[in-house]
Amino acid sequence: MTSNARPVKVFSGNTSRPLAEAICRELGVELSNNTLSTFADGEISVWLEKTVRGQDCFIVESTCKPVNDNLMAILVNIDAMRRASAGRITAVIPYFGYARQDRKAKGRDPITSKLVANMLTAAGADRVLTMDLHAAQIQGFFDIPVDHLSGTNLFVDYYMDKFNPEVYDHSNFVAVSPDVGSVARTRVFAQRVHMDLAIVDKRRPKDNVCEVMNVIGDVEGKTCIMLDDIVDTAGSLCNAAKALVEIGGAKEVYACATHGVLSNRVDPKTGAVTRAWERIENSVIKELLLLDTIPLPEDYAGTKIKQISVAPTFAKAIQHITDETSISDCIIGAR
């Protein structure tokens, strides 16, 4: 599939190796070997097993759990490539961790997503390739090019096939934003799948705790499809789905999100653990569609969560980068 004169090398961290292998299959290249090891004190070491001199190098790794280990793996790989005289280095970060720390919410807060952007640049990355940043403005934190892909294209294709408009009347469907922050992306999705738009208005008293207040829009008797960028503890998503049914009178609720962080929540008083995926399984949500920017938890034993691969999208973007052609169709989509 690759066609430019400069050789292409794709490397992976530990967490995103299956995705990196899938990207390589799409590209028609082999995943390059890099040895990642950890010293007794936890320090990360990387060795690139073959030359990268003058070559187009891509390191694929999401900064999901373990966040700091994966971030360091990216940085150390980039440094190794730079010191080995790589021609160009692209950090492929399907899920960009620390993106939710994008502003000062109160006095003396850090802006950690900007710090991470500085670290990637200082390590020697020439560009960053990522998908559905929590806030699109984070692109401005970088002093190097950022290619910001959209997962909406994949959701549009999936639901247009699942609920084919030749069979289903889309006037009986509603695209729902689970909060005010997701309205823009949900509006784009709603327009492309020819559905009305509704919003769940909520108040979040503290981190990972939300209280649903109201449903804005007509969802009574309709099938709702909620669209979000991140599902973390799943409390917000499940509460929004419950509100759509109990307050709005929705017929059924489907949900989709780009990044399935799916963190466990530990009760500070009792120590009891609530798994995000178990919360989803016990909710009114009929199906949660996730992209595979983050692997599902190893202990996942449910039936409601479905994943579709971003490998073709990232492979296409990498092809455009290596050929130095426009990447717009990976961002906007063709449908």
CA-nearest of 197, 199, 155, 175 to 306 is 155
Tell me, what's the pLDDT at 334? Answer: 38
Domain identity same for 140 and 163: no
Domain identity same for 31 and 168: no
Domain identity same for 197 and 125: no
Domain that includes residue 21, residue range: 8-150+311-332
Domain identity same for 284 and 185: yes
E strand segments, the chain: 8-12, 34-38, 44-48, 56-60, 88-93, 127-131, 146-149, 173-177, 196-206, 209-216, 223-231, 252-260, 265-266, 273-274, 285-291, 305-308
Domain identity same for 159 and 284: yes
Tell me, what's the pLDDT at 26? Answer: 97
Domain identity same for 180 and 206: yes
Selected catalytic residue, list 202, 206, 286, 316? 202
Distance (Å, whole) CA 203 – CA 243: 13
Distance (Å, whole) CA 142 – CA 329: 22
Domain identity same for 39 and 178: no
- Sites in the chain below the pLDDT cut of 70: 1-5, 204-212, 332-335
Tell me, what's the pLDDT at 271? Answer: 86
Tell me, what's the pLDDT at 205? Answer: 62
Indicate the number of domains in the chain. 2
**Is position 1 within any domain?**
no
CA-nearest of 91, 95, 97 to 125 is 91
Distance (Å, whole) CA 81 – CA 115: 21
Tell me, what's the pLDDT at 266? Answer: 86
Tell me, what's the pLDDT at 333? Answer: 44
- Tokens for 297? 């938890």
Domain identity same for 129 and 41: yes
Domain identity same for 69 and 156: no
- Tokens for 152? 């909406």
Cβ–Cβ under 8 Å, residues 155 and 182: no
pTM: 0.93
Active site residue 286: no
Tell me, what's the pLDDT at 211? Answer: 66
Tell me, what's the pLDDT at 204? Answer: 63
Q: Please report the sign of the dihedral spanned by the C-alpha atoms of residue 135, residue 137, residue 142, residue 144.
A: positive
Distance (Å, whole) CA 200 – CA 197: 10
Enter the DSSP assignment of 139.
Answer: G
Q: What is the CATH number of the domain that holds 35?
A: 3.40.50.2020
Question: What pLDDT digit, counting tens, does each position of 177-228 carry?
Answer: 998 889 999 999 999 999 999 999 877 666 656 566 789 999 999 999 999 9
